[in-house]
Structures are given as structure tokens and as C-alpha cells.
Amino acid sequence: MDALQDLLMGFSVALAPGNLLYAFLGSAFGTLIGVLPGIGPAAGTALLIPLTARLDPTGAIIMLTAIFYGTQYGGTITSILLNVPGEAASAITCIDGHKMALKGRAGAALSIAAIGSFIGGLFATIALVFLAGPLTKLALEFGPVEFFALMILGISLMMGLAGKSMVKALMMGILGLLLAMVGMDPVRGAPRFTFGKMELMDGLNFVPVIMGLFGLSDILENAEESLDSTKSAEVGSLIPSREEVKDSVGPIARGSIMGTILGLIPGMTGSMASFLSYSTEKKISKHPERFGEGAVEGVAGPETANNAHANGALIPLFTLGIPASPTVAVLMGAFLMNGLIPGPFLFRENPQLVWGVIASFFIGNVILLILNLPLVGVWVKMLKIPYSILFAVILAFMVIGAYGVENSVFDVFIMLLFGVLGYLFKKFDFPMAPMILTLILGPTMERSLRRSMEMSQGDFSILFASPIAAGLLIASLIVFVTSALRVFLGTRKKATSGSGSDRK
């Protein structure tokens, strides 16, 4: 087996002491970000990018990916103990997880969640190992035309899933593309929208933009409420009962598969994976009435699914170079900052790095299991820090993070600007995920389209000349039209059935 040989080579890279340390640091930071309510995975990963700037690329990517999947573990802790999701994908765990905590089974819930997360993460990583070969082989057949079509499909899936706010999702997607235009154009090198500022010649730096949109905007939103701290439930015994283990086997198995598959599809977020798992478990359960009253299945399924999703979402990034969610887009940005272009060529040109990182997922998941089970008490202590102190410390780190990417005060200003914008976008219910995706994909997209156009000397029919590209574009069109129709028919129905407004 080629894949297994590559993986073994990867382990030899990942097990080097330095890389082990980065995997550990990444897992710990990830859990911390997951635990702290003030900061989500996208902003958290972006925040720590400056820390990795001086590392070698392999170490940097190992650490950043560990931060990403580590947040999924940490988010559970607050959901169960405080009834406050540490990040969105764990929100559904609050329902049954916190009920279990109130019944004194918090420890068992945490154990099941950590074990489920571990199995889900492992399952998705194994899928990555075996899908890497075939998918990259396919992707190597792709030219600029096909890549352009693939990116269009990814983006339209994301928009299509935005549901009734499709107009807004489209607006945000285009806004992201326009922001990606700032700086020198990727083909000719002509400056665009730089307002004569040297700082903008290389384009908007995505780290401060994301920290503003996802991090600062959260802090501003929280500032509206008074800064009170919350009370935590007691952890209790960590060992689940035999009954609880038996009830969790099915949900964990189903969650692993569901999460991995959803991770492959652009636009599907971790929250969707955990939500889908929860509703499936409830539907097939013999005792659906137990859900909402502290059913362990309602913890096991979703927590497995969101972790399988996190690791699964790395499959399209690694093999095709397509980020499936905002946080993965941040990771893609980190690759690009290190001079690496994720996708099929990376496997060929830099197999050491790619397989080293993949092997580190196995190690990272083991570290996370340890960090989250025996050491759960440490994180619970973190929860005692009142938000009135936390928000100031997070702000301090954000200022350093934004400054540290390019050593420029201008970037701190960019963070502030996008923080205020993000706050306003939230108020208007504008989804920010499409904007981040297009902001990071923008330059690649423009380059591949313009290169295709050069190949055909400006003839647009080249986009449909290759069967793969034509197929992908037609698929995007179908996604688009069906979701637009659904929205349109939906509003029609509402309009005829009486009350016109569908907004609060």
C-alpha cells in the first residue's frame, strides 16, 4: 500500500521532538480557545498565526491544524458544564450535555464526548489517508479552467446552503472577492484600490481581517450585555456507566461517518454536522422522549460528528486546495503565508510536509484525548476567570496578533475596521463565511480564470470546452437555481398565506 508507506514516512516527520511539541502546543491552544467563550476557532487560529511565523513550515502547519481540531474538543467542556457553547459546533451538546451535568453525570458526558471526538477525528483522518491518492490523481488532471470551475462549485454550495438569506450570502461572497482585489493584480502586477498606501500593495492581510470579523465583533457584541461571570457545574466521576457506554456506540459510529462525509462538502459547517447527528439520533432512538432530559446519545453523536467534520474538512483542502469552511480558509491562508499552495502539487513537491502533517493528526488526537480526560480539571479552572478580565486579555492578544503578522500598526487599524464591520454585519444577519472563503480564494480564482482566458484568447467558451469543467459549472448552476427557487417559492408561499414579513 502506497498510502501506508507514505503515512509511515509522515510519522517519522511528525514524531520528531520539535514537531511533537508543536502538536502538543497546538492541541493545548486549541482546547483553550474552545473553552474560552470569547473567541471562536476562526479568530483563534488567525490569532495564533503570528506565533508560528518564525517556525519552519511543517511545524507551523502542524500547530495550526492542531489548534483547529483542538477547538472542537474544548468547545464541549463549556457546553456541558456551563450550558454555554465554547464554539458553534458544540451548541447542540448543551441540550443533553448540560442536563447530564445537572444530574451529576458531567464527568461521564465529558468522557463520552472526548472518546467520541477521538474516534471521529481518527476515522476522518484515516479517510484522508486513503482518499489522498485517488483525489490528488484526479486533481492533477485539472488545468486552470477546471480549478476555476471547482472553486465556483465550492462557493455556490456555500451560498446555496445559506438558505433564505441567499441574496445576503451572495453580497458577502462578492464583497470578499472585491476585497481580494486590493493590492497588485495577480497577472499584470498593476496596483488596484490601494489608495496610494504602501501597506496595501500586497493586498489586505487576511489575519487582521479575520480577527476583526470573527473575534473583535464577538467582543463588541458581548459588550452589549453586562460582563457577568457564570457558575460551573461540578465534574464528578469521569467514568461512564456500562449503560452509557452501550448507548454511545451507535451514535459514535454514525457520527464518524456522517461528519466525515459532510466535511468533504464545501459549505457544510461543523454545526450542521453536529445538528444533523443530533436529529438523526433522536429520530432513530427507541426512546426519543429521553432527548432533552440528559440522553448520552445526544452528546456522543454530535460531538463525534463535529470532530469528524473538522478532520474531514481538511480532505478537500489537502487534496484539491479548496477550503470548505471559514476556519479551513484561515488554515489555507496560513499555508499560503508559508509559501505553500495546498492541493495536489503539494503531495508531489513536498510529501514530507503533507504526510508529516497528516500523521500529526493521529498524534494530535491522542494528545487531545489526554488533555481532555485526565486533565479536564485544568480547563475547568480556566472557566473561573471572569469575562470582565478575559475580554481585555483577549483584546491585548488580538492587538499583538494583528500587529505581529507584518509588524505594522496599519494592520491593527484594519482589525478594528473589520471588527466594527463584522459587528454591523451580525446586526443585519449577513453571513460572514462566504466573505472569508472568497477573500482567501479570490486571487487564485482570478488567476485561474484570467489564465484560462489567455489560453483561449478571451473566448469564454473555453470554460465549457472540457467535460470536467462543464460538469462542475453545470452542477454549480443546478445548486444555485434550485436553492434560489426554493427561497423564491418559500417566500411566495408565505406571502400568500397571510403575514408578509419573514424577518423579526
Interface residue list for other proteins (CB under 8 A): 50-51, 53-54, 167-168, 170-171, 174-175, 177-178, 181, 185, 187-188, 190, 192-193, 219-220, 223-227, 386, 388-389, 391-393, 395-397, 399-400, 403-404, 407, 409, 412-413, 416, 419-420, 423-424, 427-428, 446, 449-450, 453-454, 457-458, 499-504
Nearest CB to other proteins, comparing residues 242 and 503: 503
Cα–Cα distance, 279 to 388 (Å, whole number) = 36
Residue closer to other proteins by CB (options 115, 421) is 421
30, 42 Cβ separation under 8 angstroms? no
Q: Bridge-partner residues for 192, per DSSP?
A: 183
**Closest separation in Å from C-beta 168 to other proteins:** 7
The angle at the Cα of 166, spanning 165 to 170, to the nearest 5 degrees, equals: 125
Helix or strand run (H / E) with residue 231: none
Q: Which residues of 4-19 are buried (b: 16+ CB within 10 A; e: fewer)?
A: eebbeebbebbeeeeb
Distance CA 445, CA 204 (A): 16
What's the min distance (Å) between Cβ of 231 and other proteins? 19
Give the chain's length. 504
Q: Confirm if 304 and 251 have CB atoms less than 8 A apart.
A: yes
Q: How far is the CB of 180 from other proteins (least distance, A)?
A: 9
Q: Is the CB of 54 or the CB of 493 nearer to other proteins?
A: 54
Contact 145, 463 (CB under 8 A): yes
C-beta of residue 123 within 8 angstroms of C-beta of residue 273? no
Residue 168 or residue 290: which is nearer to other proteins going by CB?
A: 168
H-only helix segments in 373-466: 376-382, 387-406, 409-427, 433-455, 462-465
C-alpha span between 260 and 478 (Å, rounded): 24
* Residue 243 or 429 with smaller CB distance to other proteins: 429
Q: CB of residue 53 vs other proteins: minimum separation in angstroms? A: 7
Q: Which is nearer to other proteins, 15 or 416 (CB)?
A: 416
Q: How far is the CB of 504 from other proteins (least distance, A)?
A: 7
**Least distance from other proteins to the Cβ atom of residue 138, Å:** 27
Number of other residues whose CB lies within 10 A of the CB of residue 138 = 14
Give min distance, CB of 454 to other proteins, in A. 4
Q: How many CB atoms lie within 10 A of CB 496?
A: 8
Please say which residue, 375 or 393, places its beta carbon nearer to other proteins: 393
Name residue, grid cell 459549505. 267
Q: How far is CA 429 from CA 209, 385, 448, in A?
A: 18, 31, 32
**Judged by CB, which is closer to other proteins: 457, or 496?**
457
Residue 348 or 384: which CB sits closer to other proteins? 384
Pull the grid cell for residue 494. 408565505
> Closer to other proteins at the Cβ: 220 or 238?
220
> What is the distance between the alpha carbons of residues 120 and 313, in angstroms, rounded to a whole number?
12
- Distance of closest approach, residue 42 Cβ to other proteins, in angstroms: 20
Q: What share of the chain is helix, strand, coil (3-state, %, to 5)?
A: 75, 0, 25
- Please say which residue, 179 or 357, places its beta carbon nearer to other proteins: 179
Could you tell me the three cell numbers for 447? 488567476
Nearest distance, CB of residue 500 and other proteins, angstroms: 5
Give the C-alpha separation, 77 to 114, whole Å: 9
CB of 215 to other proteins, least distance (A): 12
In whole angstroms, the minimum distance from the beta carbon of 9 to other proteins comes to 30
